[in-house]
């Protein structure tokens, strides 16, 4: 355990969250992500690829089972090539959908994941043909978010994420305050902090970890989740891991240095 000022991070030389081109919105071969991790002196890289179920969205931004087959084959090949240089984990970032819980549980149970990330990227909104994407820059989608109102969407999001933590066999909760990040006017209310407090209690109860996602530094100048939430998590003794959420090889381990002690 390492002290970095206020926040204690476990295994700070591990990147717990990177993607690959298999998800359709990332670039680069898995091997390039591994090579960047080695160049950046990481001891572990954990792939955490997108799984979604029964989501209607403009394009598929997640892997199908046949993609996961390729993902595991390549990951296992890389493990043998880079053995002794870096540890390679093969995990999944499972997007929660309350309408597809059974299928998600079944798919998760089918494979041996090194990590199961819990996210909630999409919400179903009455009257809309597609799901609402809480993480996109798509302007049409953002306009809909604004017309519904960020307060109400955040309330649904935290409700959904808490349910996901209760139901799914997750090991880490991803980018906890990441939704609607492309709306600069976004503000969390006291009621949201009460929901977050409840969510953190669930995370502590299940003894799973919380991700410090450094893509927030690239997007909004602060990691996900914000320091106030990390301090709340620390009060519950929740273990924290770093994740870059890299969607291109050069972003592996990005901005990790500021969480590293000088002795690392
Ligand atoms: Zn992604
Ligand atoms: Zn995500």
113: domain CATH number is: 3.20.20.140
Q: Which pLDDT does position 3 carry in this prediction?
A: 45
Domain that holds residue 38: 14-255
Q: Would you tell me the crossing angle of helices 190-205 and 227-235 to the nearest 10 degrees?
A: 40
Compute the distance from residue 248 Cα to the ligand 1 centre, in Å: 10
Which two tokens mark 219?
Answer: 């997007």
- Name residues whose C-beta falls within 8 Å of residue 178's C-beta, 6 or more positions apart in sequence: 134, 135, 213, 215, 216, 224, 225
β-bridge partners, 41 = none
Cβ-contact 256, 228 below 8 angstroms = no
Compute the distance from residue 26 Cα to the ligand 1 centre, in Å: 7
Q: Is residue 260 part of a domain?
A: no
Q: Is residue 24 part of a domain?
A: yes
List pLDDT tens digits, range 175-222.
Answer: 999 999 989 889 999 999 999 999 999 999 999 999 999 999 988 899
Say how far apart CA 29 and CA 20 lie, in whole Å: 6
Total domain count, the chain: 1
Compute the distance from residue 23 Cα to the ligand 1 centre, in Å: 7
Q: Is residue 8 part of a domain?
A: no
Q: Is residue 232 part of a domain?
A: yes
Q: Is residue 5 part of a domain?
A: no
pLDDT band at 51 (very low <50, low <70, confident <90, very high): very high
pLDDT band at 10 (very low <50, low <70, confident <90, very high): confident
Q: Is residue 2 part of a domain?
A: no
* Percentage of residues of the chain with pLDDT beyond 70: 96
Compute the distance from residue 35 Cα to the ligand 2 centre, in Å: 23
pTM for the full predicted model: 0.95
Res 96 pLDDT > 90: yes
Compute the distance from residue 175 Cα to the ligand 2 centre, in Å: 7
Compute the distance from residue 247 Cα to the ligand 2 centre, in Å: 10
Compute the distance from residue 25 Cα to the ligand 1 centre, in Å: 6
Q: Is residue 194 part of a domain?
A: yes
Compute the distance from residue 174 Cα to the ligand 2 centre, in Å: 6
Residue 95: nearest ligand to its CA? 2
Say how far apart CA 233 and CA 144 lie, in whole Å: 32
β-pair type (7-9, 116-119): unpaired
Residue 23: nearest ligand to its CA? 1
Say how far apart CA 104 and CA 109 lie, in whole Å: 9
Compute the distance from residue 263 Cα to the ligand 2 centre, in Å: 31
Residue 118: nearest ligand to its CA? 2
Q: State phi, psi for 69 to the nearest 5 degrees.
A: -60, -45
Which two tokens mark 186?
Answer: 């976004």
Q: Is residue 263 part of a domain?
A: no
């Amino acid at each position: 355990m390492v002290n970095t000022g206020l926040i204690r991070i476990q295994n700070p030389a591990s990147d717990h969250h990177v993607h690959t081109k298999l998800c359709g919105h990332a670039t680069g071969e898995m091997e390039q992500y591994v090579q960047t991790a080695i160049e950046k002196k990481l001891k572990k890289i954990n792939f955490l690829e997108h799984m979604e179920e029964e989501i209607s969205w403009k394009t598929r931004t997640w892997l199908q089972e046949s993609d996961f087959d390729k993902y595991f084959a390549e990951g296992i090949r890389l493990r043998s090539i880079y053995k002794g240089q870096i540890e390679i984990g093969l995990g999944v970032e499972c997007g929660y959908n309350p309408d597809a819980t059974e299928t998600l549980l079944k798919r998760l149970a089918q494979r041996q994941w090194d990590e199961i990330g819990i996210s909630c990227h999409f919400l179903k909104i009455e009257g809309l043909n597609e799901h609402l994407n809480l993480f996109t820059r798509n302007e049409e989608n953002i306009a809909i978010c604004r017309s519904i109102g960020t307060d109400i969407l955040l309330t649904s999001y935290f409700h959904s994420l808490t349910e996901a933590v209760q139901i799914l066999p997750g090991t880490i909760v991803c980018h906890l305050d990441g939704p609607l990040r492309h709306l600069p006017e976004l503000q969390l209310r006291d009621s949201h902090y009460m929901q977050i407090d409840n969510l953190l209690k669930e995370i502590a109860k299940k003894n799973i970890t919380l991700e410090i996602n450094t893509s927030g530094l690239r997007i909004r100048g602060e990691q996900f989740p914000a320091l106030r939430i990390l301090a709340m998590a620390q009060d519950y003794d929740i273990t924290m891991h770093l994740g870059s959420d890299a969607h291109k090889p050069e972003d592996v381990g990005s901005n990790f240095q500021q969480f590293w002690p000088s002795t690392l």
